[in-house]
Amino acid sequence: MARRSSSRACAAMATAAVFALLAATATASGLVRVEHPAKSDGSLSLLVVGDWGRKGTYNQSRVAEQMGKVGEKLNIDFVISTGDNFYEDGLTGVDDQAFEESFTDIYTAKSLQKPWYLVLGNHDYRGDVLAQLSPVLRKIDQRFICMRSFIVNAEIVDFFFIDTTPFQLKYWTRPKDHHYDWRGVAPRQKYITNLLKDMDEAMKKSTAKWKIAVGHHTIRSVSDHGDTKELLQLLLPVLKVNGIDFYINGHDHCLEHISSRDSPIQYFTSGGGSKAWRGVLQPNSDKLQFFYDGQGFMSLQINQDQADFIFYDVSGNILYKWSKSKANYLQPSTYITGENRN
C-alpha cells in the first residue's frame, strides 16, 4: 500500500500543472469537451495503447516500460487508451484493487504521469461501468479521464472519443455467459441515434486542422475480430461526411494500419498493450499498409502541417512509420513502408 500511495502522490504532483490548464465544458450537443493546450510551438505528441489491463501480465509491464522511454523522448502531452482497460470483466467497483494493480502500479514512468484519455471497451462493459466512469477514480489517480463519449480539443486537432461497444448487436442479443452493464445506455437504438447526432453536430462545428476519431472497436481490421459491420453501416458515414482524417481503435490485439480505398480516412489499430494474438490474418477490401500481430503501442506527433505515426514493439523497436502532410493539399501523402523496420 505504501508503494501505491507513493505512486499516487508522484502522479498527482506531476500532473497538477497540466490539469490546471485543462477545462471541461459541455457542448451544445451534450458531449463533454476537454480543452488540452498544444505545446508552445503548436505541436502535440502522444502515445496510444489499448487492451492492456492485466495486472502486468502478458508483457503489459514490458510494454509500459517502453512507453515510458518513448514518452520521455517525445515529451508527450498525454496518452490515449483505446479501451479494454481492465480484464477480464472490467472493475467490480471504485474500490477494486485491479485499478491500481493494472494502471497506477504499471504505468509508473515519469513521462506517463500525464492525462490519460480513455474509452470503454467491451470487457469494461462486463464490469461496473459506472465505477470506471466515476470521479472517485480520479482521486486515486488523477491521470485517469474516462468517459463514454467526449471531445478533446488540442488546438490543432480535435479528438472525438466514441463509445462503440453499444453499437455491436451481439453484446445485447447473444451475450453468452457474460453480463453487460447497460445502465445509462439502454435502450440501444435511442442511445446510438443520439450519439451519432451529437457526434455529427460536433464534427461539423470543428474548426481544427485535423480531426481524429477514437473508439474501441475496429471499423477495418484484418485480425481476429475483423471489420465491425455496425460501425461500417452506422458510424463510418458520419466520419466520411465530416472529413475525419484518422480512426484509431483497439479491440484486435495487434498493431495495424489500413488505408481506405474510397475515402481519405486512415485506420490505425493499437491494441497490443498486453495479451496478443498470433497467426490470424483475414484481408479485407481496403489497402493493408502494415500489420503486426504482437504486443506494442503507437506514437503520434502532429503539427499544423504533418502527422507522424510510429508503431513500436514490446522491446521498443520501431516497426513502422507513416506520415501524412497537409502543408500542400496537392501533394500526395508520404508512406514509409515495412522496408524501414528495425
Please give the annotated binding residues for Fe cation, written as ranges. Answer: 51, 84, 87, 122, 216, 251, 253
Is 217 a residue of the active site?
no
* Distance (Å, whole) CA 70 – CA 223: 26
Binding-site residues sit at 51, 84, 87, 122, 216, 251, 253
Q: What radius of gyration, in Å, describes the C-alpha atoms of the chain?
A: 18
* Distance (Å, whole) CA 272 – CA 298: 9
Residue 304 neighbours by CB distance under 10 Å: 15
Looking up cell 521498443, which residue turns up?
316
Q: What share of the chain is helix, strand, coil (3-state, %, to 5)?
A: 30, 25, 45
User: Under DSSP, is residue 63 helix (H, G, I), strand (E, B) or coil?
Assistant: helix
User: Under DSSP, is residue 59 helix (H, G, I), strand (E, B) or coil?
Assistant: coil
- Answer for the pair 162, 215: CB distance below 8 angstroms, yes or no: yes
Q: Which of 36, 217, 225, 257 is catalytic?
A: 225
Instruction: List the beta bridge partners of residue 291.
Output: 256
Measured over the CA atoms of residue 64, residue 45, residue 256 and residue 175, the dihedral's sign is: positive
CA angle in degrees (0–180, nearest 5) for 184-186-187: 140
The bridge status of strand 296-302 relative to strand 78-81 is: unpaired
User: Under DSSP, is residue 297 helix (H, G, I), strand (E, B) or coil?
Assistant: strand
Among 29, 28, 245, 87, CA closest to 158: 245
Catalytic residues: 225
